Structure 1
Amino acid sequence: MQEILRSTDPTIIAFASALLSGEDIEVFEMDVHMSVLEGSIGVLPRRLMVRRDQAFEARAVLRDNDLHVTE
């Protein structure tokens, strides 16, 4: 698995997940339940992970939609 996006904004994570799923790219969201530790204030970022062999395509999809990707 390789990280392709990190954000504290849940709408960006949801949008990116929908875009990638629409392209048949498997997405796994990490750190979803960290709000329990932080007190639900949204300071800890969530990460989107994809398989290494799909990372290049996933980054291209996100860049085409003006989302900043993790290199």
Structure 2
Amino acid sequence: MRELIRVNDPVLVSAVSALLDGAGIHYLVLDQNMSVIEGSLGILPRRIMVEDGDVAAARRVIADAGLGHELRPE
């Protein structure tokens, strides 16, 4: 799996998740439950991971939605 996005914004995580769901791309959101440890401060970023074979399609979906600036470098 490869990291697609790393962000602290839960709204962005939700938006990207909806885009990937709509495109039929399987993904994982890692570190989503770390808020319990950090005290819900939002300090630790969430990571959206996709399978290696889906990276190009996922990047295209995110970029087409105008969120290309949030993508991790390749």
TM-score range, shorter chain: over 0.9
SS at match of 1:54: helix
Aligned-partner residue type, residue 57 of structure 1: A
Percentage identity across paired residues of the two chains: 42
Matches of 1:27 and 1:13, distance apart in 2:
11
Residue range with higher mean Cα deviation, 10-19 or 59-68: 59-68
Length, aligned pairs only: 71
1:29 paired with 2:29, answer yes
Aligned-partner residue type, residue 14 of structure 2: A
Matches of 1:47 and 1:65, distance apart in 2:
19
Which ranges of 4 or more aligned residues in structure 1 deviate by more than 2 Å?
Answer: none
Mapping 1:40-51, distance limit 5 Å: 40-51=40-51
TM-score norm. by structure 2 comes to 0.91
TM-score norm. by structure 1 comes to 0.95
Instruction: Please report how far the alpha carbon of residue 64 of structure 1 lies from its aligned counterpart in structure 2 after TM superposition.
Output: 1.0
